[in-house]
């Protein structure tokens, strides 16, 4: 049994840290470090480790910032995609949402502000009237 650190081929991210791995299947693999010297990275978050010529090193500050920026962008894109996917099926079965949108547009354009109770009442009336059916 040996210490194994395995990295992703595509982006050099740490996939696995195993302190008692059977490393026989990883011998000679380019994205694996067997019994590596971790003294330079012991206090550094694993997401900032990189494998360079078989050695584990800490990323530079610029590499860390680039990694963090990429993760933030991916998260932001994921949230946006999820929001857009929630619109799928925004057809006839989504009467409630169409009613809310119609009433909110009316409330925004109203000469006097509507109270929350008035908005809720208007949404109910919009649903009851069938105005949001199409």
CA atoms of 86 and 126, how far apart (whole Å): 22
pTM exceeds 0.75 for this model: no
Tokens standing for residue 37 = 């010297």
Q: Which backbone phi and psi does 57 adopt, to 5 degrees? A: -130, 160
pLDDT at 85: 72
Model pLDDT for residues 49-100, shown as the tens digit of each residue: 999 988 999 999 999 999 999 999 999 889 888 877 765 655 555 777 778 8
Q: Do the bridges between strand 32-34 and strand 14-21 make them parallel or antiparallel, or are there none, so unpaired? A: unpaired
Please tell me the predicted confidence (pLDDT) of residue 12. Answer: 86
Of residues 24, 15, 19, the one with CA closest to residue 38: 19
φ/ψ of 4, rounded to 5, equals: -130, 135
Position 126 confidence tier, pLDDT thresholds 50, 70, 90: confident
Angular region, 12: left φ>0, alpha ψ -120 to 50, beta rest: left
Q: In the predicted model, is pLDDT for residue 4 greater than 90? A: yes
Residue ranges of domains in the chain: 2-60, 92-129
The rounded distance, in Å, linking the Cα atoms of 2 and 24 is 9
């Amino acid at each position: 049994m040996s210490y194994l650190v395995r990295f992703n081929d595509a982006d050099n991210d740490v996939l696995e840290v195993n302190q008692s791995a059977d490393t026989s299947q990883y011998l000679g693999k380019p994205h694996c470090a067997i019994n590596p010297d971790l003294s330079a990275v012991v206090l550094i978050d694993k997401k900032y480790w990189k494998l360079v010529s078989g050695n584990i090193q800490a990323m530079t500050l610029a590499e860390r910032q680039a990694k963090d920026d990429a993760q933030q962008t991916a998260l932001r894109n994921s949230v946006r995609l999820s929001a857009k996917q929630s619109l799928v099926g925004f057809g006839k079965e989504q009467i409630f949402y169409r009613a809310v949108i119609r009433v909110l547009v009316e409330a925004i354009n109203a000469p006097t502000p509507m109270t929350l109770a008035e908005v809720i009442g208007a949404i109910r009336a919009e649903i009851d009237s069938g105005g949001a059916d199409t």
